[in-house]
Structure 1
């Protein structure tokens, strides 16, 4: 892995920092530096109109200092390795995702690591608005951490779309796969390639009597199988670790992840935002809700965050 600077988003509601634990594992393997980052905000401090601007700033700084002390103590407890030095940084900002992205851009971080929230006693995970914004707008990869362990010789999935002729998606396929292979080399893991393809639209079979859905499905399946063989061979992935299945990505990828007991799924996200994101969404966002393992979302080469514009 080429990650040299890791930005870990700290959850202020718990002592158990799974994102920090995951970042420390990566740092131990790669020698990367780690910064534990906490973004805080309390609107009540902005509403104290009886105080001057300086007095309000003093109050805010007191809160930041208090949380910095808490974070420093937390790091002292959880960072066991004497060879790892973890910096602590607390900022006051009313939009956590913006403060995280600005920090990543300004300080040159190349990976954001953030934990997700479990819904009560259920296994389902709640992805907060901060998660969505980071996946859509962060210019660097975002690792969303769940409870699944990262064992030695674990299974890593690269979610690809090998049947596409679109240049952007083809380039993203390469990036996703290279990233998965780098993680596999570092963690002594195994890469699995997963590709889904759509079935025959029902309305076509109904509206065109002479249309043969069976032949069409076979043709599409063969096209994706052939494309997968070529793609996998190029990247040195054995056939038994290639999965080509009919269905939607949000169904196929989690099913294969469960089948192989994956520890990590690497997926590309095009970073839609605004109306496009609201109406269409991103495949990555639909997929990760269904996964019980970590998700690494990567952007296409040349992606520019809207916060950089």
Structure 2
């Protein structure tokens, strides 16, 4: 299966170092068919909008001048990547005051298969009050999002897929298969090793108080057995060796970073529900909960049938 041949790379305006572009080129070069990468930048300067002394035409001309300057800058940045005939590299700069809306609008317009963006550490206040562009993309972008840390993907390295094998929900089970299949595609391109990681919940501490006859050991053993059986069924379907699977008790935001550190993984594949509003703030998504805890890239996938709130085809 050949995927990710039409990739949108979000440029980082603050530096000449562009790990997202380097990562996209790494993926594109490994494709079995020619790939297209669009190096995309969203810019906005509020001062241009507030210059009352200028006419609308003059403001448009000033914006066009800034866009042209940034296009020239991006061409210089992209020069080292233009020598690969297997990858077509385009550049696009747009003026928009909400970067995530411009990115998602571009995804819908050009049917991109993957968005690649450099990420950084986010503090709690920033995440809750200001909602970084990264979080908006994880929740609302219709295609997979790859958030890149500033490090190399080692050849013959390790890729972790965070599966949810204990669920009976059809959407979760379908998403497990999508994550494994895309993880296998990436590992085949990079010569990496795929690992499936699953966490299962701890016994609720208050249940022994409410139900004195409850035996937490039997309950824990039963839950673990169910997850191990489900993991076995999943790995056997894809001929993944048992030693490349991990089933541990705990929360995903604890189990996944631990596995990443032990394996020195270069990439984690996770599912994201696309929650928005207060539910996203208080409940969070696995991707959001782990991304600041790990020093590797995160590929976030949505369930099939996901409809973005920014979909122009929706009323």
TM-score higher than 0.5 here? yes
Displacement after TM superposition at 1:82 (Å): 3.9
Q: 2:19·2:151 contact (CA, 8 Å) conserved in 1?
A: no
Q: Deviations over 1:91-143 (max 9, x none)?
A: 00000001011111101211100001258xxxxxx976100000100000000
Q: 1:26·1:32 contact (CA, 8 Å) conserved in 2?
A: no
The answer to whether the aligner puts 1:158 opposite 2:161 as a matched pair is yes
Equivalent residue for 2:226, pick from 204, 212, 223: 223
**3-state DSSP class of the match of 2:147?**
strand
The answer to whether the aligner puts 1:131 opposite 2:134 as a matched pair is yes
Q: What's the counterpart of residue 233 of structure 1?
A: 236
Displacement after TM superposition at 1:274 (Å): 1.9
**3-state DSSP class of the match of 1:206?**
helix
Q: What's the counterpart of residue 11 of structure 1?
A: 12
Q: What's the counterpart of residue 22 of structure 2?
A: 21
Structure 1 distance, partners of 2:173, 2:231, is: 12
Displacement after TM superposition at 1:75 (Å): 1.1
The answer to whether the aligner puts 1:261 opposite 2:242 as a matched pair is no
**3-state DSSP class of the match of 1:199?**
coil
Displacement after TM superposition at 1:80 (Å): 5.6
Q: Which runs of 5+ in 2 are unaligned?
A: none
Residues paired across the two proteins, number: 304
Give me the TM-score of the superposition, normalised by structure 2.
0.93
The answer to whether the aligner puts 1:69 opposite 2:72 as a matched pair is yes
Displacement after TM superposition at 1:208 (Å): 1.7
**3-state DSSP class of the match of 2:206?**
helix
Pairwise CA RMSD: 1.7
- Structure 2 matches for 1:52-67, cutoff 5 A? 52-67=55-70
Structure 2 distance, partners of 1:213, 1:118, is: 38
Q: What's the counterpart of residue 206 of structure 2?
A: 203
Structure 2 distance, partners of 1:18, 1:283, is: 23
**3-state DSSP class of the match of 2:226?**
helix
**3-state DSSP class of the match of 1:244?**
strand
**3-state DSSP class of the match of 1:161?**
coil
Structure 1 distance, partners of 2:54, 2:215, is: 76
The answer to whether the aligner puts 1:144 opposite 2:147 as a matched pair is yes
Q: Deviations over 1:121-176 (max 9, x none)?
A: xxxxx976100000100000000001232122111111101011011111111111
Q: Deviations over 1:285-308 (max 9, x none)?
A: 112221111000011111111111
Q: What's the counterpart of residue 287 of structure 1?
A: 290
Structure 2 distance, partners of 1:88, 1:106, is: 15
The answer to whether the aligner puts 1:242 opposite 2:260 as a matched pair is no
- Structure 2 matches for 1:73-92, cutoff 5 A? 73-76=76-79, 78-79=80-81, 81-83=83-85, 84-92=87-95
Q: Which runs of 5+ in 1 are unaligned?
A: 120-125
